[in-house]
Amino acid sequence: MATLLTSHLDQISLCATSISDLPFHGPKMFTNTLLTNHDITSLIRDTEQHERALFHLAPPPLPKTGSSNFAESVGGASMLPPSTARRQTAYAARQPKNKAVAAVLGGDLYQRTRGTEAGRQKGELDVEVLLKGAEKLAAVYPIPEANDRITSLRRRHQQLTANIAHYEARISEQATQLQAMNRPTSRGGHSEPEDVEDIADTATGAEEVSLPMTKEDLEQEEREVRELESKKQGLQDRVEGMEKDLGGLMR
């Protein structure tokens, strides 16, 4: 019995050796085409970066668990998965309209730029996100003087942001002073010495003031507050104008 098994093992070993010694040709064009995953842009001669971007799509976000298990939550007994047609419909609905732009920006930045557009009605605008997206688009789709314009817009946005913060601080300071001046008095229209000292220390840090504020002084303070508010509104209008410039650049 052992001799018979040994002969079979020897025969199997000889067959394996003969098979390993057989000459096999390497994979050729047809085999490589079927088995390998080629970049489609390699089939196009002398492609540019913005041309290759047209063939690379950003994948759509995965559907949420709650929406995919809607059939399970309704009825309780129905445990069947959603149909293929329904999956395709949901997939197509989540495809970005501008696929080339989504491919260049990437999923996260693309969604952030779309969210910025949605927040315009609420007065919320992330200029830095738009500028970053414009830089990435300009790197793939070169536009004359686009980089200089983006740099200028970023510098202008930083300056306007600093100016708005400065004027908001001044408005808050003036409003605090005006509120302190309108505080009810206890001496027939004259302020208490402590209140006057607090106003002087808060406003300018000057010496102690003992004279009461007149009506003309209050009107002057109110005019200054209104002027600061008008300047703030002007700066906000300039920011909105810069938003329109960014919108034209993103198109």
Q: Cα 13 from chain centroid?
A: 65
> Do 228 and 171 contact (CB within 8 A), yes or no?
yes
* Position 206 confidence tier, pLDDT thresholds 50, 70, 90: very low
pLDDT confidence band for 12 (50 / 70 / 90):
very high
pLDDT of residue 123: 59
| Token pair in block for residue 196 | 């006057």
pLDDT exceeds 70 at position 74: no
Percent of the chain with pLDDT over 70: 55
Q: Rounded CA gap, 63 and 146, in Å?
A: 37
For 72, counting Cβ atoms within 10 Å of its Cβ (0-12 exposed, 13-18 middle, 19+ buried), the class is: middle
Find tokens 């067959």 and name the residue: 15
Tokens of 100: 């080339």
In the chain, where are the structural domains located? 143-251
Alpha-carbon dihedral sign for residues 209, 210, 211, 216: positive
